Amino acid sequence: MNTLIKNGTLVTAEKTFQADILIQDEKIQRISSGLEADSASTIDASGKLILPGGVDPHVHLDLPMFDTVSSDDHYTGHKAAAFGGTTTVMDFVPLAESPSPAGRGVRGEGDFRYSLDLWLKKAQKAAIDYSFHMNLTQFNENIAKQIPSLREMGIQTLKVFTAYNGRLRLDDGSIFKALQIAKENGMLVMAHCENGDVIETLVAQALAAGHTTPEWHALTRPAWGAVEATFRMAAMAGQADTPVYIVHMNAGGEVDMLKYARERGVKVMGETCPQYLFFTIDNLRQPDGAKWICSPPMRTKDDNARLWEGLTEGILQTVGTDHCPFFFDGREPIIYEGKPVAIPGKELGEDDFTKIPNGLPGIQDRMPVLWTTGVRAGKITPNQFVAYTSTNPAKIFGLYPRKGALLEGSDADIVIWDPEMKVKYGVAMSHQRTDYNLYEDWELIGYPEKVFLRGRMILDGDAWMGKAGDGQFLKRGEGKFV
């Protein structure tokens, strides 16, 4: 199947230029001006931008949490991603114990092969391409021995947590050893940075004092904990002499820590997410404040502004979503693809903020929202937009130049972007399987018009041609420090 996209303006992380693109089967075959191809179906992209498909490095699909599960699965979440211009997503695999451990696993301990197989099964309905990060939430000699086997499984990333005491957190010694093992095996550690001990203390004190409303979620997870833990992770990476990637950066001070460490040669990279650029603790004080509950929490206007500076000045490297949606009211069904769906959500914590499932929708919103508020508002260039939403995640996570690139030989994951399309955004336009949208009624200018996945058009305006099962698992190689 050949397609010729003519007269478009190509935007890459490095440059913007006019050219035609010839797609042959799954790949970009040629990029040049004046291309002709009799056998190809031709699309005139005059006035449109051609972007590499978005790469979202941070999503949680079908993730069990508290007494429910994140409400997008590996089909609905992928479909929503495509509607926002994203063609590759990276999900996190919870480390699970196998009833009969495979490989080097030990009974009663996490087993990477078993955990990955569970997630691969869930992802059989994938509609776009995907890969996984492994949550490293237990650490001992046996787990350490298993880590190199992840490379053979196509996984080169380990997420560690400095918070969630007694559940997900590792102590600093274990994190440091994980960094050393990552270095030896060409892998990358990703870190969730908050201070678990401080959070545990503040949550107990808040509950004892009868504070149960959503704002207490933010008040018990102070920004200083995120700043201190980000610096601690950077310092450990410096001491292990290996890169580290800080996920969902949310506090202005984290940007300062990143800058400080990078200027001193530490290979630390940072991701922020759109929600941290706009929203504050005041959103949690609204009657529907539970909609904004995620960890780390929303901060202040000053934090929003410093994160924007981090993007403008190139201190940060990526914009992911941390897409982990829940219904606001999971007792009321929504209609998704013609069928009623209701999944328990934020109402689970209506009397206690600690029981509100943590996470927000955003997989579709990311690129259109960032285009309007970043590129159109003059805060970032179109090339920075491509770098943050596609090229840098592909480079960091070992997919470049197959993904994240408009190059001959790259996968033909292509977005025809209409920079003038005006939309009134919100839940009615969203394919995220939840009952609310954080950007309700926002006026956006600039939106994906057509989306190709490995040469096949999966989206044309409102028409969805993607299918469950069409997405491929991407085994990733060694990534690059950017």
Q: Note whether 333 and 303 are within 8 A (CB).
A: no
| Best CA proximity match to 176, nearest among 247, 237, 231 | 237
Q: Which is nearer to ligand URP, 157 or 358 (CB)?
A: 358
| Residue choice 228, 322, 347, 470 for contact with Zn ion (CB under 5 A) | 322
Q: Is 385 in a helix, a strand, or coil? A: helix
Q: Which stretch binds Zn ion (CB under 5 A): 19-27, 172-180, 266-274, 314-322?
A: 314-322
Backbone φ and ψ of 328, nearest 5°: -75, -45
**Residue whose C-beta lies closest to Zn ion:** 192
Give least dist CB 86 to ligand URP, A: 17
| Residue choice 294, 386, 396, 459 for contact with ligand URP (CB under 6 A) | 294
Residue 262 has a CB neighbour count (10 Å cut-off) of: 16
**Dist CA 74 CA 90 (whole Å):** 11
Backbone φ and ψ of 55, nearest 5°: -120, 110
Report which residue type is found at 39: S
150 binds ligand URP (CB under 6 A): no
323 binds Zn ion (CB under 5 A): no
Backbone φ and ψ of 123, nearest 5°: -85, 5
Name which of Zn ion, ligand URP, none residue 359 binds, using a CB cut-off of 5 to 8 Å depending on partner kind. Answer: ligand URP
366 binds Zn ion (CB under 5 A): no
Rama region for 426: left / alpha / beta (φ>0; ψ in -120 to 50; rest): left
Q: Which is nearer to ligand URP, 384 or 437 (CB)?
A: 437
Q: Which is nearer to Zn ion, 192 or 476 (CB)?
A: 192
Q: Is 422 in a helix, a strand, or coil? A: strand
322 binds ligand URP (CB under 6 A): yes
| Best CA proximity match to 60, nearest among 18, 91, 94, 15 | 91
**H helices then E strands: how many in the chain?**
15, 21
| Best CA proximity match to 136, nearest among 100, 96, 196, 185 | 96
324 binds ligand URP (CB under 6 A): yes
Give least dist CB 199 to ligand URP, A: 12
Give least dist CB 66 to ligand URP, A: 11
Per-residue contact string for residues 50-79; x = within reach of ligand URP by CB under 6 A? ----------x-------------------
Q: Which is nearer to ligand URP, 52 or 296 (CB)?
A: 296
169 binds Zn ion (CB under 5 A): no
| Residue choice 192, 217, 267, 306 for contact with Zn ion (CB under 5 A) | 192
DSSP codes of every residue in 156-185: -EEEEES-STTTT---HHHHHHHHHHHHHT
| Best CA proximity match to 296, nearest among 228, 207, 234, 218 | 218
Name which of ligand URP, Zn ion, none residue 135 binds, using a CB cut-off of 5 to 8 Å depending on partner kind. Answer: none
Query: In this structure, what token pair is assigned to residue 180?
Result: 């050393």
Give least dist CB 70 to Zn ion, A: 10
Hunting for tokens 């960091």 — which residue is that? 396
Burial of 66 (0-12, 13-18, 19+ CB in 10 A): middle
Q: Using CB under 6 A, which residues numbered 223 to 282 contact ligand URP?
A: none
Give least dist CB 196 to Zn ion, A: 12
Burial of 411 (0-12, 13-18, 19+ CB in 10 A): buried
Q: Using CB under 6 A, which residues numbered 346 to 375 contact ligand URP?
A: 358-359
Q: Which is nearer to ligand URP, 229 or 451 (CB)?
A: 229
**Dist CA 398 CA 407 (whole Å):** 16
| Residue choice 12, 156, 295, 317 for contact with ligand URP (CB under 6 A) | 295
Per-residue contact string for residues 157-196; x = within reach of ligand URP by CB under 6 A? -----------------------------------x----
Sign of CA dihedral 144, 150, 166, 283: positive
Name which of Zn ion, ligand URP, none residue 321 binds, using a CB cut-off of 5 to 8 Å depending on partner kind. Answer: none
Q: Which is nearer to Zn ion, 79 or 192 (CB)?
A: 192
Give least dist CB 192 to Zn ion, A: 3
Binding site for ligand URP (CB under 6 A): 60, 192, 294-295, 322, 324, 358-359
Binding site for Zn ion (CB under 5 A): 192, 322
